[in-house]
Amino acid sequence: MSEMLLSAGSTADGPDLAVEFAGLRLKNPVMPASGTFGYGEEYSPYMDLNRLGAIVTKGLSLRPKAGNPTPRIAETNGGMLNAIGLQNVGVDAFVEQKLPFLKEVQTPVIVNFFGNSLEEYGQAAQRLSQIDEIAAVELNISCPNVKRGGIVFGTDPGAAAEVVSLVRRHFNKPLIVKLTPNVTDITVIARAVEEAGADAISCINTLTGLAVDIRRRRPRLANGTGGLSGPALRPLAVRMVYQVVQAVSLPVIGVGGIMSAEDALEFLIAGAHAVQVGTANFVDPAAMINIVDGLKQFCQEEGVAGISELIGTLRC
Amino acid sequence: MKNIKTTILSNQEVSPDYYRMKILAPGISDLAQPGQFVMFRAQATDEPLLRRPFGIFQTGTLPSDCDGLPDKEFVEILYKVVGRGTAIMRELHEGDRVEVLGPLGRGFELADDGREQILVGGGIGLVPLYMLASELVKKNKVRLLIGGRSRKDVLMVTEFERLGVETYVSTDDGTLGEQGPVTQVLERKLSKFPDAVVYACGPMPMLEAVFRICQPRQVALQVSLEAFMACGVGACLGCVVKGAGHSEQQPHYLCTCKEGPVFRAEELDWELLEKRVNEGEHSHE
Ligand SMILES: Cc1cc2nc3c(=O)[nH]c(=O)nc-3n(C[C@H](O)[C@H](O)[C@H](O)COP(=O)(O)OP(=O)(O)OC[C@H]3O[C@@H](n4cnc5c(N)ncnc54)[C@H](O)[C@@H]3O)c2cc1C
Ligand SMILES: Cc1cc2nc3c(=O)[nH]c(=O)nc-3n(C[C@H](O)[C@H](O)[C@H](O)COP(=O)(O)O)c2cc1C
Ligand code: FES
């Protein structure tokens, strides 16, 4: 590499991929999307977890959760539907059985969590605030409030603000709130969670879909509907990230259908500070590593010293 | 466990709609245990998106084409064309690039302590039994009961016989071997060898029937299950089955990809599996 390119932020071994936002400093902007990477250990035989910007866990609840009946997944064109039902081991088992492994990895751990009532969110946040090894939490608000007729927290600005401010009270470290795309105007929810004290926003979660087994005249998933993920979701996700970036001053993590470095760059250019990779991990366990390498190569080709220079450079 | 980009060594039709494919797979081939599987994809496109799981039929080495180059360690799979992914696979040729992740899952436990060994395979379900048989024949008398809808669904009988396995064929339509379900042969064999151990792989209704025969006779049974899979490594939780003792209050799910695909019969909740069968799920073989 020529010396001309060695400007601020770049290092001898190429462009700098580090990003900083919401009090987090990540060596690169690439991390797994919750629920697609287990608790990290599952993919450790296939990749060096130290190369990731962060690790995001499967969504945890205070108590273990069983999840939905099967079939839970169905492939669709350019994507898949899932209705796993947030099966997870619970916070205590996570701390005992899963965290010791993650402690050994030199990558910040972000714990995704959820509840089915305000109380559950509050209790989980309290418990998680006591765990030193957690760098940040990601709050999944795409869950129904069973105590209020099943309305999904993240689809109502009032309910979203209420749960975010409750968690905020219990948790001092960076609080990322993950938004659902199943709303008419995502900017309304984004503003509500910003005012309620979120430090960052990740978007988007899966988009609710339905696939039909035409011979049996039944849904292909036991649950009926499921969440759409994968490349089919990407243009919608990029659009929503762009809208949220315009609407609030919080940093945004872009999620939805990222398969390659090019896909990740769409999100970064639209204004995301980091990206999460979900379904692509299933398709290729090397996906995130390839994306990290691809980002570096793109910066080199474009003569950009650091990835952060590209963030929010969309010309409209 | 490895994730490799590699090439196909051969891809041949063995019966209408059934193919065997040898894939160059150093690092996977030498680790594979009977009953394990691989996740396979033919091309890096979004269509179809997910990798497909296939049981490992056998592993081995082919001599290299040139002196000085290492021998070719391969994994062989045997597949039935049933949909989009397998229709693409049938068109592949020697030298085509593919990606393989494996070996995955928990395979068979060898109960080769002198008891009679009975393998039961339905249709394409015979795939994981071949590698198992190659191990078991080293110390035991092995019998294979193999069933299928029709003559064309009964595969590899000569290959098993060459290992020294005694084979019994049955078909639903009587076009090969005796007419009727493979389980009717199993009942006869178990009356003769009540101490036998049974290993089974095939469509769910067949496994269910095998279980109903083995359970009252207290015959040790291992079954290899199928499920829709996205990741194959225990990360997505899409492939679970209900384990023994499962209830709404005390849920007990097992990952088919990681805790299976082979389970001891007593690890599973058969009432719930039976319900799935009646609902018509997994009707393909
Ligand atoms: C552990 C394991 C081992 C397997 N081993 C073999 C094998 O050795 N040889 C072989 O031919 N097949 C095997 N299968 C099944 C094989 O994975 C499916 O047939 C294949 O994924 C179908 O892909 P497709 O794109 O052609 O079909 P699709 O177009 O996806 O589907 C066509 C039909 O196949 C059914 N189907 C799709 N995937 C599965 C699945 N995972 N399990 C059950 N039904 C499915 C669908 O419901 C549909 O009816 C195995 C499955 C598992 C889980
Ligand atoms: C199998 C599966 C499980 C998921 N589980 C969770 C979860 O527990 N919590 C959560 O916030 N999002 C969950 N998601 C959503 C993803 O984190 C991500 O937002 C979504 O899949 C879109 O990204 P992708 O297209 O890259 O997969 C899950 C997605 C999938 C496919
Ligand atoms: S296929 Fe993903 S957990 Fe089994």
Give B168-201 pLDDT, tens digit per residue.
999 999 999 999 999 999 999 999 999 999 999 9
Residue A91 makes CB contacts below 8 A (sequence gap 6+) with A60, A61, A62, A113, A124, A127, A128
Distance (angstroms) between ligand 1 centre and the Cα of B52 equals: 7
**B163 reaches A (C-beta below 8 A):** no
Per-residue pLDDT of A50-83, as tens digits, reads: 999 999 999 999 998 889 999 999 999 999 999 9
What's the rounded Cα separation, in Å, for the pair A25 and A9? Answer: 14
**Residue B270: strand, helix, or coil:** helix
Instruction: Name the phi and psi angles at A302, rounded to 5.
Output: -85, -5
Q: Which residue of B has its CA nearest to A282?
A: B231
B280: pLDDT strictly greater than 70: no
What's the rounded Cα separation, in Å, for the pair B190 and B176? Answer: 22
Number of other residues whose CB lies within 10 A of the CB of residue A187:
16
How many domains are contained in chain A? Answer: 1
Q: What is the mean pLDDT of chain A?
A: 93
Q: Which residue of B has its CA nearest to A83?
A: B238
Contact status, residue A55 vs residue A108, Cβ threshold 8 Å: yes
% of chain A exceeding 70 in pLDDT = 96
Q: Is the CB of B210 under 6 A from ligand 3?
A: no
ipTM of the complex: 0.92
CATH code: domain of residue A263: 3.20.20.70
**A66 reaches B (C-beta below 8 A):** yes
Q: Which residues in chain B are closer than 8 Å to A36, comparing Cβ atoms?
A: 231, 235-236
Instruction: Name the phi and psi angles at A136, rounded to 5.
Output: -160, 165
**B101 reaches A (C-beta below 8 A):** yes
- Catalogue the E-assigned strands of B202-257: 221-224, 240-242, 253-255
Task: Single out the residue of A243, A253, A292, A256 nearest to residue A273, CA to CA.
Answer: A253
Q: Which numbered atom of ligand 1 lies nearest the CA of B260? A: 1
Beta partners for residue B282, in sequence order? none
Per-residue pLDDT of A98-143, as tens digits, reads: 999 999 999 999 999 999 999 999 999 999 999 999 999 999 999 8
Per-residue pLDDT of B226-279, as tens digits, reads: 999 999 999 999 999 999 988 877 778 999 999 999 999 999 998 856 555 444
Q: Is the CB of A205 under 6 A from ligand 2?
A: yes
**A226 reaches B (C-beta below 8 A):** no
Alpha-carbon distance B184 to nearest alpha carbon in chain A (angstroms): 30
% of chain B exceeding 70 in pLDDT = 95
Residue with tokens 């092995």: B142
Residue with tokens 């045997």: B78
Contact status, residue A74 vs residue A81, Cβ threshold 8 Å: yes
What's the rounded Cα separation, in Å, for the pair A35 and A30? Answer: 15
User: What is the longest distance spanned by two Cα atoms in chain A?
Assistant: 65
CATH-assigned architecture of domain B2-104: Beta Barrel (2.40)
Q: What is the pLDDT of residue B113?
A: 79
B206: pLDDT strictly greater than 70: yes
Number of H helices, E strands in chain B: 6, 16
Distance (angstroms) between ligand 1 centre and the Cα of B280 equals: 16
What's the rounded Cα separation, in Å, for the pair A219 and A100? Answer: 40
A13: pLDDT strictly greater than 80: no
Task: Single out the residue of B41, B36, B35 nearest to residue B6, CA to CA.
Answer: B41
Token pair for A231: 């490349």
Looking at ligand 1, which residue's alpha carbon is closest to its atom 21? B52
Looking at ligand 1, which residue's alpha carbon is closest to its atom 44? B282
**Residue A173: strand, helix, or coil:** coil
Token pair for A168: 């905020």
Q: What is the pLDDT of residue B111?
A: 84
**Residue A140: strand, helix, or coil:** strand
Q: Is residue A315 part of a domain?
A: no
Residue A179 CA: distances (Å) to CA of A114, A145, B27, B189: 12, 15, 42, 59
Q: Which residue of A has its CA nearest to B227?
A: A71
* Angle at which helices A261-270 and A234-247 cross, to 10°: 30
Domain ranges of chain B: 2-104, 117-229
**A294 reaches B (C-beta below 8 A):** no
Distance (angstroms) between ligand 3 centre and the Cα of A36 equals: 10
A7: pLDDT strictly greater than 80: no
Q: What is the mean pLDDT of residues B194-212?
A: 94
What's the rounded Cα separation, in Å, for the pair B100 and B28? Answer: 9
Task: Single out the residue of A50, A205, A192, A283 nearest to residue B85, CA to CA.
Answer: A283
Q: Which long-range contacts (CB under 8 A, 24 or more apart) does B271-274 make?
A: B272/B242, B272/B246, B273/B204, B273/B207, B273/B208, B273/B241, B273/B242, B274/B208
- Which domain range does residue A298 map to? 2-310
What's the rounded Cα separation, in Å, for the pair A163 and B168? Answer: 64
Token pair for B265: 């019969």
Q: Is the CB of B105 under 6 A from ligand 3?
A: no
DSSP letter at B147?
A: E
Q: Which numbered atom of ligand 2 lies nearest the CA of B237? A: 1
Q: Is residue A176 part of a domain?
A: yes
Please return the burial class of A20, using the count of CB atoms within 10 Å of its CB with bins 0-12, 13-18 and 19+: exposed
B285: pLDDT strictly greater than 60: no
Please return the burial class of A17, using the count of CB atoms within 10 Å of its CB with bins 0-12, 13-18 and 19+: buried
CB B236 to CB A73 under 8 A? yes
- Residue B48: asked if its preceding bond is cis (omega within 30°), the reply is yes
pLDDT band at A12 (very low <50, low <70, confident <90, very high): low
What's the rounded Cα separation, in Å, for the pair A126 and A131? Answer: 10
Mutation site, A37, A65, A73, interface B, largest B CB count within 10 A: A73
Residue with tokens 């225990």: B234
Please, what's the b/e burial string for B179-199 (b: 16 or more CB within 10 A of its CB; e: otherwise)? eebbbebbeebbeebeebbbb
Quick one: which ligand is closest to B227's CA? 1
Query: Across the interface, which of B46, B230, B234 has its CB nearest the CB of A78?
Result: B46
Q: Which residues in chain B are closer than 8 Å to A281, comparing Cβ atoms?
A: 231, 235
Q: Is the CB of B62 under 6 A from ligand 3?
A: no
Q: What is the mean pLDDT of residues A255-270?
A: 98
Alpha-carbon distance B187 to nearest alpha carbon in chain A (angstroms): 31
Domain spanning B117-229: CATH 3.40.50.80: yes
Contact status, residue A55 vs residue A109, Cβ threshold 8 Å: yes
pLDDT band at A147 (very low <50, low <70, confident <90, very high): confident
SS (H, E, C) B44-79: CCCCCCCCEEEECCEEEEECCCCCCCCCEEEEEEEE
Quick one: which ligand is closest to A30's CA? 2
Q: Is residue A282 part of a domain?
A: yes
Within the 110-149 window of chain A, which residues sit less than 8 Å (CB to CB) from chain B? none
Q: What is the mean pLDDT of residues A144-150?
A: 84
Equal CATH topology for B2-104 and B117-229:
no
Q: What is the pLDDT of residue A5?
A: 43
The pTM assigned to this predicted structure is 0.94
Query: Across the interface, which of B47, B236, B238 has its CB nearest the CB of A78?
Result: B47
Q: Is residue A284 part of a domain?
A: yes
Q: What is the pLDDT of residue A227?
A: 96
CB A75 to CB B233 under 8 A? no
Residue A232 CA: distances (Å) to CA of A33, A258, A307: 16, 10, 26
Amino acid at site A160? A
Number of other residues whose CB lies within 10 A of the CB of residue B43:
12
User: Does the active-site annotation cover A143?
Assistant: yes
SS (H, E, C) B83-133: CHHHHHHHCCCCCCEEEEEEEECECCCCCCCCCCEEEEEEHHHHHHHHHHH
Q: Which residue of B has its CA nearest to A226?
A: B238
